[in-house]
Structure 1
Amino acid sequence: MSSNLGRVGVLYGGHSAEREVSLMSGQGVHDALRSKGIDAHLFDTGRYTLVDLINAGFDRVFIALHGRYGEDGTLQGALELLHLPYTGSGTLASSLAMNKIMTKKVWLQHGLPTPAYMVMDAETSVDELIDALGLPLIIKPPHEGSTLGITKVTTREEVAAAYRLAASYDEQVLAEQFIKGRELTVPVLGSGASARALPVIEIVAPDGNYDYEHKYISNDTQYVCPAELPAELSAELARLSEEAYRALECEGWGRADFMLDESGKPWLLEMNTSPGMTSHSLVPMGAKAAGMSYADLCVEILSSASCKVHSPSVA
């Protein structure tokens, strides 16, 4: 298998607010692929240009970038123009999933459960916001991940500061109904009808605060995998994850994040199309619970690399 994959670039780093996480993800993927005899090479898109990428002579690339310019469809479009096979979702799915507002619109069109929301700007009425979503509520930038710029608002007086923080990351700001309950996530591998959910993971963070510190730095967060849930509910979460993944036309791999409310109803929060691959990351955890090693997971994802746009050849 490894001899057929050619010279592989692991794209990592980048320019987004999640650069530090991507550096860790990319190093882990690189080391895992090398351990399998694959000719893998790190390539920091934050330091090098597309010309450098062309000159690197890669046969395919593993995208270990998170956030803007790596997970949002921009890089995927460039790779299509270069006819360079890449891992994960294509341009449209990456762009849709990166925008939490558009993700919600697609999911609602498919009848999938996601919390109520409003799009905010500087003129949004606080009274209108609270009337629509209640308190507490969540305010966040729709194009960022890793909980960057997110605030749980418990009083009307906190709205303005929460808006300013989110707006410092993004031109748009998303306000969302707060769902009290258990935080769950479900990795998904594959494409189309073959897409399959891995075991459900429950995230138990101190005081329910699964922020950047508790995701990537602290060891205080606990992970339960497989999550301790009734079999019927685990099956329902798997089904919803696969449907949410297909609705956005995701490919290769991804991770659906949920809140399970106190009545036992699951609510979709977002879809990650280039999830973390650090020592704290959740997709490797789900794969391990399914009997797949980290290195084997990386090879499976890499093996699915492709270009998604098939243009007729030019004479």
Structure 2
Amino acid sequence: MPTASLPKYPLFAKPVAEGSSKGIDTFNKVNNGAELELAIQKLRTTFPDQDILVKRFLAGRELTVSILGTGVDGRVIGIREHLFKRNGLDDDDLEDFASWRGKLSNECRLRYNDVHDMDDPQLQTASRVALDAWAALGCRDAGRVDIRFDTEEADAVPNVLEASLG
């Protein structure tokens, strides 16, 4: 497998056309070439008709930004932060990203925090990016935009993971 153009590890491999964390489990985050090959093999077996997306693992905060309104008239009505191991939670049941198993199983719980402190600069940045994505995609009525920052640093860059349109 050619790897010359891959970003530095850790990487994240996932099916290109799934949602709700389908196809996402602990093997998707990879730290070397052998783990990457194994992840791709597992994904191709489970999703034989799909391409596999390999991208840099985003290690920062993950937020779900809820939006009401159409296009440029959309407004943020709430933000929910996903709490992972990196948030300082010392719980072996937690992962450092949302998986299919974590969403559907009681054995690996996902934790959330509904955010109320909108003075946080990262929340303000995530809101702006989510609203820009909402408008650019021509979204209507109500939905959400999922954002994940690339690092845990104060100057982390927000990345749009997906938009869900109700």
Q: Shorter-normalised TM-score: what interval?
A: 0.7 to 0.9
Higher strand share: 2
- Report deviation, 1:229: 6.4
CA contact (8 A) 1:198 1:238 kept: no
Letter of the 2:102 partner, please give it. Answer: H
Residue 185 of structure 1 aligns to a residue whose secondary structure is: strand
Alignment check: 8 A CA contact 2:67 2:78 kept: no
Q: Residue in 2 aligned with 1:241?
A: 130
Aligned Cα root-mean-square deviation (Å)? 2.2
Which secondary structure does the structure 2 equivalent of 1:176 belong to? strand
Q: Deviations over 1:219-258 (max 9, x none)?
A: 7322111165643332221111111111122222222112
1:157 is paired with a residue whose SS is helix
- Find the counterpart in structure 1 of residue 99 from structure 2: 211
Work out whether residues 182 and 259 of structure 1, in 8 Å CA contact, stay in contact via their aligned partners in 2.
Answer: yes
Provide structure 1 residue ranges, at least 5 long, that are not aligned to the other structure.
1-123, 275-315
Aligned residue for 2:87? Answer: none
1:224 aligns with 2:148: no
Q: Tell me whether 1:147 sits opposite 2:147 in the alignment.
A: no
Partner of 1:74: none
State the match for 2:72 in structure 1.
193
Residue pairs, 1:1-315, within 5 angstroms = 124-125=1-2, 127-129=3-5, 132-150=6-24, 151-167=28-44, 168-169=46-47, 170-205=49-84, 206-218=94-106, 220-226=109-115, 230-260=119-149, 261-264=151-154, 265=156, 266-274=158-166
Letter of the 2:101 counterpart? E
Deviation readout 1:28-75 (Å, 9 max, x if unpaired): xxxxxxxxxxxxxxxxxxxxxxxxxxxxxxxxxxxxxxxxxxxxxxxx
Distance 1:236 1:188, change over 3 A: same
4+ long deviations beyond 6 Å: none
For 1:263-299, what per-residue CA distance to the aligned partner results, in whole angstroms no more than 9, with x for missing partners? 232222222224xxxxxxxxxxxxxxxxxxxxxxxxx
Q: Check conservation: 2:82, 2:110, Cα contact below 8 A.
A: yes
Structure 1 residues 240 and 203, CA gap change in structure 2 (3 angstroms): same
SS at match of 1:200: strand
Cα deviations by residue, 1:121-175 (Å, 9 ceiling, x for unpaired): xxx51x325xx31111011111101222231111210122211233332422111
Report which of the two structures shows the higher radius of gyration computed on alpha carbons.
1
Question: Which ranges of structure 2 fall in alignment gaps of 5 or more residues?
Answer: 85-93
- Determine what percentage of the aligned residue pairs are the same residue: 28
Q: What TM-score, normalized to structure 2?
A: 0.77
CA distance in structure 1 between the aligned counterparts of 2:123 and 2:42, rounded to whole angstroms? 35
State how far apart, in whole Å, the 2-side matches of 1:163 and 1:230 are: 41
